């Protein structure tokens, strides 16, 4: 059974074929009414235009990236403390931050994370407020997580405050 996009592709290919075959037969069947003119034979010329650009790639955009817009949002109540579990993820570029992510605090908040197993704590910058997988209350950048616990210990019980 074909899905919607496969049916659409099939219909477009059939429509092009139905239109193209008669057009080729009509255009190739006559030589413009000059029946008494002898056909000329010319040697085919081949010109290598070079490699073509792939048709599925968008054109290169050399415009600069848009600026980051600052939006003022009221701060959550100070002194908020949440207990839960934490895990780690490696962010590709940290830009000098100590990134972590939790939907419980505002983006840019400085969050103090305390490992409840060994008492170690770190401060990190909240860089995302998206929903987290599983029961995690915070996800911390790998290098920052190593200051709390070994990676094999993850997930770990933590207390976050901001």
Decide which of 2.40.30.10, 2.30.30.100, 2.40.40.10, 2.60.120.380 is the CATH code for 81-161.
2.40.40.10
Asked which of 33-37, 145-149, 156-160 is least confident by mean pLDDT, the reply is: 33-37
Delimit the domains of the chain by residue range.
81-161
- pLDDT, tens digit (0-9, with 9 covering 90-100), for 21-59: 877 788 775 555 555 555 555 566 666 777 766 566 566
- Which residue is associated with the tokens 């993850």? 154
Q: What is the pLDDT of residue 5?
A: 76
- pLDDT, tens digit (0-9, with 9 covering 90-100), for 115-136: 999 999 999 999 888 888 788 8
Number of alpha carbons in the 13 Å side-chain half-sphere of residue 135:
8
Question: How far is C-alpha 151 from the chain's CA centre?
Answer: 26
Helix (H, G, I), strand (E, B) or coil at 7: helix
């Amino acid at each position: 059974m074909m899905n919607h996009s496969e049916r659409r592709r099939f219909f477009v290919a059939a429509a092009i074929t139905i239109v193209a075959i008669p057009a080729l037969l009509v255009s190739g069947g006559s030589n413009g009414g000059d029946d008494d003119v002898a056909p000329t034979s010319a040697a085919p010329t081949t010109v290598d235009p070079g490699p073509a650009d792939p048709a599925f790639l968008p054109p290169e955009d050399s415009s600069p990236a848009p600026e980051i817009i600052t939006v003022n949002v009221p701060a959550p109540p100070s002194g908020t403390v949440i207990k839960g579990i934490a895990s780690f993820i490696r962010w590709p570029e940290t830009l000098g931050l100590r990134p972590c992510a939790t939907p419980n605090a505002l983006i840019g908040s400085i969050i103090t994370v305390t490992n409840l197993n060994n008492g170690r704590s770190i401060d990190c910058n909240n860089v995302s407020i998206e929903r987290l997988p599983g029961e995690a209350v915070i996800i911390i950048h790998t290098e920052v997580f190593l200051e709390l616990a070994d990676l094999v210990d993850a997930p770990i019980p933590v207390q976050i405050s901001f």
